Amino acid sequence: MARNLSEAARKVLLLGQCVPTVKHNATKIRVKRLELDENLLMFFKKDEFYYCHDPEKQCKTGDIVLIQALPQKLTKLITHQIKEVVYPFGDITDPITGKKVAKEKYREDIERETEVYGKLDSTFDYNKAPPRGWQEGKKDFTAKPTYTKYHVFDENDPYAI
Amino acid sequence: MLRCLTSAIVQCRGIKQQAKIKWVRPDYVPSYKAEKSGDLENIPKISDDALGLDYTLSGELKDAPESVKKIFSVAHLGPKEYKTLVKEALTERVKQHQYDDTTVEFKVAKMTAQIRCLQETMDKHPKNVIAKKACQELIDKRKKTLKLLRQYDYKKFEWLLEKLNIEYKAHPDTYNKLSRKESLKKLTELHCEDVRNKKLDEYRNLLESQQGPFLEDKLNALKFIKSEQMELQLPVTVTDQDIKKVEKQFNEWKIKNEIKQQGKKKKRHLLLEDSE
């Protein structure tokens, strides 16, 4: 019975969000859950963190992903693996029409609007824009967690605030 | 007795540090400064002869004498006109169309221009509290706008950072106050990790140096066993594959060892040069 339960638990897929970590060979996934307080009979939110094996580096910070337990633990820390990236961060597709969305508007509509007014050289073009990650480590410091600066090191760490 | 005396004379309060760690407290940087707000660029330089924004298209001013032009120049019109020109210069980089004044990129560019102007005034007058407050509020607002833009349109977010030369750093989990105790704790952890890695490296080197002679012995032994078995007409238990495998391992080790030795030699040379 117990073995069956543990096997079933291993096959369960979890939906979580990728959060920044310092680890190079693993990604940290936050799974949000609700926990019942039996005294108050109320649900409170509770975060659980899993370190996942991701050799191809398919997921980046902020992505919503599906994770599954590994048949054997890779290390003491890494217990799960990334199954699939469900929603890439900041690149939203409308599930009904299948079109790309920026906030409350379709990207198509935004482009059509600018075309009516007349395009300029400075106009942003979605088709020409490179995929996410070309500013990582240059001007966009969100891959690792930031912290308050506590010491003057020889090399200046951009993640120290 | 002696120990009591020394402790009474020499004060040693707080944590007793056995490792030699020196903590340097980082200097206080006001939050309106460019290095904190993430502006990698100063305000674009605008010459004093440049005409005000409303007069640039005027045909009459083009042929007007120098004295008249001077009256309509930025130097004469004042700092307010100068700031509008700065705003224009920055917003032109990201404008989506000619009449654009509502999109996020326009708003961020406008805020950036205001922030950079206010930073300049703060450098001149560090006690200007109104400017300081306005600057801080704008910086926070811009950061929030960028945070939201990142959530719904990552491509545009990155493009905007590149165009306006802004750095974006996410908020830390907690804004804890800087303290000596906690800083020393972190530094000690780093030191311990260094020591651990050093010891592990040394041990790995030792094991790897023993690998070569062992493989050589193994190769000889395998060859000897095979030849003996052939001679005595016994069933041969050592295959060619086994020998080849060991040979390959041995050759790989040789190459690795050579690279290591060269690295060591270079280090020694560098040390000698330094000492000279």
pLDDT tens by residue, B115-155: 999 999 999 999 999 999 999 999 999 999 999 999 999 99
Do residues A8 and A79 both lie within one domain? Answer: yes
Do residues A15 and A72 both lie within one domain? Answer: yes
Question: Strand, coil or helix: what is B246?
Answer: helix
The DSSP call for residue A80 is E
Do residues A44 and A118 both lie within one domain? Answer: no
Supply the range of the domain harboring residue A80: 2-87
What's the maximum distance between 2 C-alpha atoms anywhere in chain A?
A: 69
Do residues A44 and A67 both lie within one domain? Answer: yes
Burial letters B94-131, b for 16+ CB under 10 A, else e:
bbbbeebeebbbbbbbbbbbbbbbbbbbbeeeeeeeeb
Nearest to B166 among A130, A139, A158 (CB): A139
Orientation angle between helical segments B104-124 and B154-164, nearest 10 degrees? 30
Q: Is the CB of residue A139 less than 8 Å away from at least one CB of chain B? A: yes
ipTM for this model: 0.92
Residue type, A19: V
Do residues B136 and B65 both lie within one domain? Answer: yes
Contact A80, A70 (CB under 8 A): yes
Tokens of A116: 């009516």
Residue of B nearest to A130 (CA): B155
Do residues A35 and A107 both lie within one domain? Answer: no
How far B178 CA lies from chain A's nearest CA (Å)? Answer: 6
What's the maximum distance between 2 C-alpha atoms anywhere in chain B?
A: 115
At A33, which CATH number?
Answer: 2.40.50.140
**Distances from the Cα of A133 to the Cα of A34, A136, A140, B155, B252, angstroms:** 33, 5, 9, 9, 37
Do residues B136 and B102 both lie within one domain? Answer: yes
Report yes or no on A137 lying in a domain: no
pTM over 0.90: no
Do residues B84 and B187 both lie within one domain? Answer: no
The 10s digit of each residue's pLDDT in B61-79 is: 888 999 999 999 999 999 9
Residue A98: the pLDDT is: 94
Do residues A12 and A45 both lie within one domain? Answer: yes
Do residues A6 and A78 both lie within one domain? Answer: yes
Q: Is the CB of residue A137 less than 8 Å away from at least one CB of chain B? A: no
Contact B51, B61 (CB under 8 A): yes
User: Is the pLDDT reported for residue A1 higher than 70?
Assistant: no
Look over chain B and give the mean of its residue pLDDT values, rounded to a whole number: 90
Do residues B191 and B106 both lie within one domain? Answer: no
CA angle B98, B104, B106 (to 5 degrees): 40
How far B61 CA lies from chain A's nearest CA (Å)? Answer: 27
The 10s digit of each residue's pLDDT in A75-112 is: 999 999 999 999 999 999 999 999 999 999 999 999 99
Look over chain A and give the mean of its residue pLDDT values, rounded to a whole number: 93
Domain count for chain A: 2
Final residue in a domain of this structure, among B134, B164, B194: B164
Do residues A7 and A32 both lie within one domain? Answer: yes
Do residues B54 and B134 both lie within one domain? Answer: yes
Do residues A10 and A81 both lie within one domain? Answer: yes
Do residues A80 and A104 both lie within one domain? Answer: no
Report yes or no on A114 lying in a domain: yes
Residue B276: the pLDDT is: 65
Provide, as residue numbers in chain B, all residues whose Cβ is less than 8 Å from the Cβ of A139.
Answer: 40, 158, 161-162, 165-168
Residue with tokens 């030191």: B191
Mean pLDDT of B231-256: 91
Supply the range of the domain harboring residue B86: 33-164
Report yes or no on B196 lying in a domain: yes
Which residues of B make CB contacts under 8 Å with A? Answer: 23-26, 36, 40, 92-100, 105, 150-159, 161-163, 165-173, 175-176, 178, 182-183, 186-187
CB contact (8 A) between residue B186 and residue A150: yes
Do residues B37 and B157 both lie within one domain? Answer: yes
Residue of A nearest to B188 (CA): A151
Beta strands in B105-206 (DSSP E): 168-169
CA distance B256 to B68: 78
Report yes or no on B16 lying in a domain: no
Do residues B39 and B144 both lie within one domain? Answer: yes
